Amino acid sequence: MSTRVAEVYDQLRSDILAARLSPGERLKVNPLCDRFGVSLSVVREALTRLTEQRLVRSVPQYGFTVATLDRASLIDLTEVRVQLETLALRWAIERADLDWETSVVAALYKLGRTPMYTDEAEPQVSEEWSDAHAVLHAALAAGCASPLLIELRRGPYDASEIYRRWAKPAAGEKRDVHGEHTAIVNAAIGRDAATAVRLLEEHIRRTTDTLLKREASGEDAEAS
């Protein structure tokens, strides 16, 4: 990916995940070229990359739009993630060494010390927290010693990012996300595969359940 494509991609991705671009909003290529001062090919390549990550959709005869909550796709994505993430964690617990345990604990510590939300009037999940969150989940999987499995899990994880950002708990709903991560890590480094895998699956499914409940109640999906 060229430097200019990467810059456009990063900014559009940030705008989508922070809901500065609304779900379903049309992404017109020419105005984006003017906004970023780049060529059509640069914008199209960035949008194509975002389409591959399911943050953007390409509609024949219409163009590109920001992704919307798709119930069937979300459920399908969740099932694939559960299978890949839990398999990677199970293998890691069986195969990994002390260096893996150290990397996982360090990633958890950094995530716990990183503010989850921004200081805006309508707080959004911070980029720093999202990055630290990705590092923790990648660290948990890294010990599986399978480059192919590590690569396979990355795609669904990235594709689910937009849903994680939208799964903000409803008013009065409480969720201890750091507590969930801590319990997973403790079970993993304690080499309790059954518990670690169960907790990780529950953790992944909880975000999906939150979004499906919001959709069923007619609430707007907010970034989270």
The vertex-29 CA angle with 23 and 157, nearest 5°, equals 45
Higher pLDDT, 20 or 29: 29
- Does the pTM surpass 0.85? The reply is no
How many percent of the chain have pLDDT more than 90? Answer: 62
Domains of the chain plus CATH, in order, are: 3-66 (1.10.10.10), 71-217 (1.20.120.530)
pLDDT tens digits, 170-186: 555 678 999 999 999 99
Higher pLDDT, 220 or 15: 15
Close Cβ partners of 188 (under 8 Å, ≥ 6 residues apart): 89, 92, 93, 101, 104, 140, 196
Residue that is written with structure tokens 């200019």 in the block: 4
| pLDDT grade for 98, boundaries at 50, 70 and 90 | very high
| pLDDT at position 220 | 45
Q: What mean pLDDT, rounded, does the chain reach?
A: 88
| pLDDT at position 221 | 39
- Burial (CB < 10 A; 0-12, 13-18, 19+), residue 44, is middle
pLDDT tens digits, 151-171: 999 989 988 887 877 766 555
d(CA 113, CA 2) in angstroms, rounded, equals 33
